Structure 1
Amino acid sequence: MIIVDLADLVSGIRIVELTAKTRQGAIRALVQAANWDDDGINPENVLEAIEEREAAAQTLVANDFALPHAFIDWDGDFRIVLGRSKSRVDYGGPAGVNVQLIVLLVIGRRLQQTHVEVLAALAELLKSPDFRQNLIDAKDIKAIDLLLMTQAGIQPENRPVRGPSIPRLTVNMVKTAIQLTESLAAQALLLAVERVENVPWEALANYKGRLLLVTSQHSEEFDHKREDLHIFDVAHASLSRADRANLGLLLAASSGLLTEKNSVVCVTGPDGRRLDSINVTKPEVHFRAMLSEKNRRGADVVRPAVMLRVLTLAIEIAAEGREAHPIGALFVIGDSRQVLRHSQQLVLNPFHGYARQLRNVLDPSLAETMKEFALIDGAFIIQGDGTVLSAGTYLTPKSASGSVAHGLGARHQTAAAISAHTQAMAITVSQSTGTVTVFRNGSSVLSLERSGRTKW
């Protein structure tokens, strides 16, 4: 007999508030909440399996509690969704009896022979009428979650981290990418994901090479003991899949983690939750100008964290606009002494007179201020350590001989020119297209195109 660990069972339960009044409506809501898209499962097939099971034998467990369940053709083990209704659901039971708790259990092929143990564990978890009433009376989903954890004997500080299910396609793509990385002797494997919980860590257990993660949700609290793992948090949700990889390569290159000649294997997908594409590239293809940079004596070097922060700001401005309208922007980072020799102030500098620690881009509280000042014509001048020297600054360099795509406007021409005549990096946001472009040594070294998910 298999003993089901209540802690493992509870840590996988998804919780939703039910508004449906009928059994059919409530079960449909629970099936949708189970999120089958990443598994390639049609929710209608899940509904059909549950209805067949309900027709054979009703799954009403108590006057206030039902446990609908079914088998489906799925490679997973089980998925559980708990629905709580404050207004009651007509479950088709005895007259006048309506349920307020419905726990949906969907069982895959792995547990077809042992599903009774899972059902028994769920029944044991919810057998107490007093405990069920506590769930019904709970203030919100968070309170329900805490009650379940406590009932399972899990201390809040030791609760498991609930990550999303990993699609089988993602696992297979990462395994294939690892084989490719090893066969090519590539210098790194790069994954562009929404958050670290979307990474199939088990598939990476035997991979000993350099791993680069580009995430769009903050990963600072992620506790990892893996060697040679490098995480770059950046808001890339509005970028195309190719640009997510390009962004990761740029950040890794600027941090000294890549060389020009050796390959990097990149795994991306249509979003950060599912990976379905593998690409092999060499940093020199996109970042020759970046990697061959020789800083002149006395020029302030751009810190990788500063470049990442400004890139994030640029991407957010491209995606969000300002006051429901698209806007453009120009950031010039590093070699500020030389940059200022090619500039003049158009308007009163809004950063003048403030202490250095109050005007550093690494301070998250400055983000909204920077976005607001992006409405002012002119450029932001930023030192390599992140200190913002000015906004609304007019740049006056001579034209650059570097490569700038035909049809780009004065902002991009200016960015190319200032990066050609100084050791600075220039980052532009196109008002018309939302494209974020990085210039170095007079040339465009990276273009990040907006994918269309914008707020204006």
Structure 2
Amino acid sequence: MDLGDLVSAIRIVELPAKTRPTAIRTLVQAANWEDEGIAPEKVLEAIEERETVAQTLVANDFALPHAFIDWDGDFRVVLGRSRQGIDYGVPTGQSVRLIVLLVLGRKLLQTHVEVLAALAELLKAQEFRQQIIDAKDAKAIDALLLNKAGLTPDHRPARQSSVPRLTQTMIKQGFQLVEQVGAQALLLALDKLENVPWDTLGNWKGRVLLITTEHSDDFEITREDTYAFEVPHASLSRMDRANLGLLLAASAGLLTDKLSVVCVTGPDGRKLDSITITKPETHFRAMLSEKNRRGNNIVRPAVILRILSLAVELASEGREAHPVGAMFVIGDSRQVLRHAQQLVLNPFHGYSRQLRNVLDPSLAETIKEFALIDGAFIIQGDGTVLSAGTYLMPKSAPGGLPAGLGARHQTAGAITHHTQAMAITVSQSTGTVTVFRNGSIVFTLERAGSTRW
């Protein structure tokens, strides 16, 4: 195979990943299979099947995973460079610095050995591989490969972008909108950090907020002014995932309530197809503003976020194969208890404060179980649970809530009107999570995905 044709087809990506599975997934995503109508998971399955037969480690610092797929094309090559090294599962513990992914289609079924031989020839010299590892950036690596093949940038076909075309367009439009409307940040809502179009973001200097639904332990963010927030609630609608991410960013002091944020979202974890411009002021003034806190009635943002997370989990999972409704009343507990009566023996009575704080992850299942009891949870602003199964009897609040809301929501509106507390409800019928403050609805999260019940 002609070396020039091979080099012209290579795509280059940086690999922040630390382990082999994450690195290979990043390379597969960079090959942009969605534009061919092929699911990346199918490509990953083919590669993992090939890897189980024989691990494709060519040298101590170089791996060449490859596989055939049911595709009418010829081949795609993605070269990934890792500065810190990748744990490739080698018994000696040697870190791999270069991974070249080769995926072949039907056209090369009989001649694939030629492509493998050409790749091996290109990267066989340890000195040349070291030059690639030490190169300043992807452009420098590109120049090294072209020089090796005797080509210049003007005499090589343009590469297809590693980002889906629609996603690339939407993000570039997002850049322009941030500048045009004076927005304070660009938000991208994806499923994992591995799917972030890092090369596209690298050419832009503004603040980026990344909202993911899956944890990425072994992924290191190197771009400046970039912040990642995990919202592990794929059951939420795309915009509600973005809104919850905005709330996390605001609580971390990264956003003001006056300036807009440009949000780019999509139907899945990689392809983005929608742009929304929103102001955090609408949602967050009543939830995080100091104007709504007085002395000991301060509600910690971490407590709000934790209870919101528990509420979303209840809405999505239900309990014992059934949907569950719930209400959490947070802050101003002394005044709230003046409007309350215990329906059952308080299951939290007598336990130390450390054992009944919602910020303790071990309490999550206990709270979900007690959500089956009628009544509300009463929670102090620091997260300490005072009671469950509590019946609230506030005076009626002035009108203003939307028609059709049930007794739980009406009670939440009334108790927050007569006290400085915040209330968070889970609708048993719709799974909608609603936040009340000062007698009004200030924030909602709607269930969008399938539930476990």
1:199-231 Cα shifts (integer Å, max 9, x gaps): 222222243333222222235665335444333
- TM-fit CA distance, 1:346: 1.6
SS in 2 for 1:190: strand
**Using the alignment, how far apart are the partners of 2:359 and 2:217 within structure 1?**
15
Instruction: Select 1:358's aligned residue among 351, 355, 358.
Output: 355
2:424 is the alignment partner of 1:427: yes
Distance (whole Å) between structure 1 residues aligned to residue 281 and residue 30 of structure 2:
40
Equivalent in the alignment of 2:442: 445
**Mapping 1:93-172, distance limit 5 Å:** 105-106=103-104, 116-118=114-116, 121=119, 167-172=164-169
Percent identical: 65
User: Quick one: which of 32, 39, 46 aligns to 2:34?
Assistant: 39
Q: Deviations over 1:26-81 (max 9, x none)?
A: xxxxxxx999996132349xx9xxxxxxxxxxxxxxxxxx96479856996459xx
Correspondence for 1:340: 337
Q: Give TM-score, length-normalised by structure 2.
A: 0.67
Which residue of structure 1 aligns with residue 242 of structure 2?
245
CA distance in 2 between partners of 1:172 and 1:285 (Å):
28
Higher mean alpha-carbon deviation, 294-303 vs 404-413, is at 294-303
Residues 273 and 423 (structure 1), Cα distance of their counterparts in 2 relative to 1, 3 Å cut: farther
Whether contact under 8 Å (1:234, 1:308) holds in the other structure is no
- CA 1:409–1:197: 2 relative to 1, 3 Å: same
Shift of 1:390: 1.5
What letter is aligned with 1:327? V
**1:180 Cα deviation from its structure 2 partner:** 1.5
Question: SS state of the match for residue 294, structure 1?
Answer: helix
Equivalenced residue count is: 350
Q: What is the CA RMSD across the aligned residues, in angstroms? A: 3.9
Q: Deviations over 1:265-315 (max 9, x none)?
A: 011111333321111122234445336551443233222222221111111
- 2:227 maps to 230
1:390 corresponds to which of 363, 387, 391: 387
Corresponding letter in the other structure for 1:388:
V
- Secondary structure of the residue that 1:217 maps to in structure 2? coil
- Any residues of structure 2 matched to 1:233-312 within 5 Å, and which? 233-290=230-287, 294-312=291-309
Asked if the contact 2:190–2:210 (Cα under 8 Å) also holds between the matched residues in 1, the reply is: yes
Give the 3-state SS of the residue equivalent to 1:105 in structure 2.
strand
Letter in 1 for 2:363: L
Letter aligned with residue 455 of structure 1: R
Give the aligned residue type for 1:422: T
| Cα distance, 1:452–1:68 mapped onto 2, change above 3 Å | closer
Equivalents in 2 of 1:105, 1:406: separation in Å?
Answer: 57
Cα distance change, pair 262–302 in 1 and its aligned pair in 2 (3 A)? same
Of 240-249 and 421-430, deviating more is 240-249
SS in 2 for 1:348: coil
Q: Give the Cα–Cα distance (whole angstroms) in 2 for the partners of residues 303 and 117 of structure 1.
A: 59
Distance 1:297 1:445, change over 3 A: closer
User: Cα–Cα, structure 1 residues 443 and 256, in superposed 2: closer, same or farther, change >3 Å?
Assistant: farther
TM-score, normalized by length of structure 1? 0.66
Report if the CA contact (8 A) 1:299-1:423 is conserved: no
Q: Distance in 2 between matches of 1:75 and 1:121?
A: 12
| Alpha-carbon separation, structure 2, partners of 1:441 and 1:185 | 31
SS where residue 207 of structure 1 aligns? coil
Out of 174, 179, 182, the position equivalent to 1:182 is 179
Unmatched tracts of structure 1, length 5 or more: 15-32, 48-65, 80-102, 109-113, 126-164
2-side partners of 1:176 and 1:76: how far apart? 28
**Which residue of 210, 215, 236 corresponds with 1:213?**
210
Aligned residues of 1:244 and 1:268 also touching (Cα < 8 A): no
Counterpart residue type for residue 278 of structure 1: I
Gaps of 5+ in 2: 43-65, 80-100, 107-111, 124-161
Describe the SS at the equivalent of 1:262.
coil
Correspondence 1:403-422 to 2 at 5 A: 403-422=400-419
The answer to whether the Cα contact below 8 Å between 2:231 and 2:241 also exists between their aligned partners in 1 is no
Whether the 8 Å CA contact 1:425–1:438 is kept in 2: the answer is yes
Which residue pairs with 1:436 in the alignment? 433
**Whole-angstrom distance in 2 between the partners of 1:74 and 1:433:** 49
Amino acid in structure 2 at the alignment position of 1:42 = G
Q: Distance in 2 between matches of 1:220 and 1:43?
A: 27
CA contact (8 A) 2:75 2:105 kept: no
Alpha carbons of structure 1 residues 219 and 400: separation in structure 2 relative to 1, 3 Å: farther
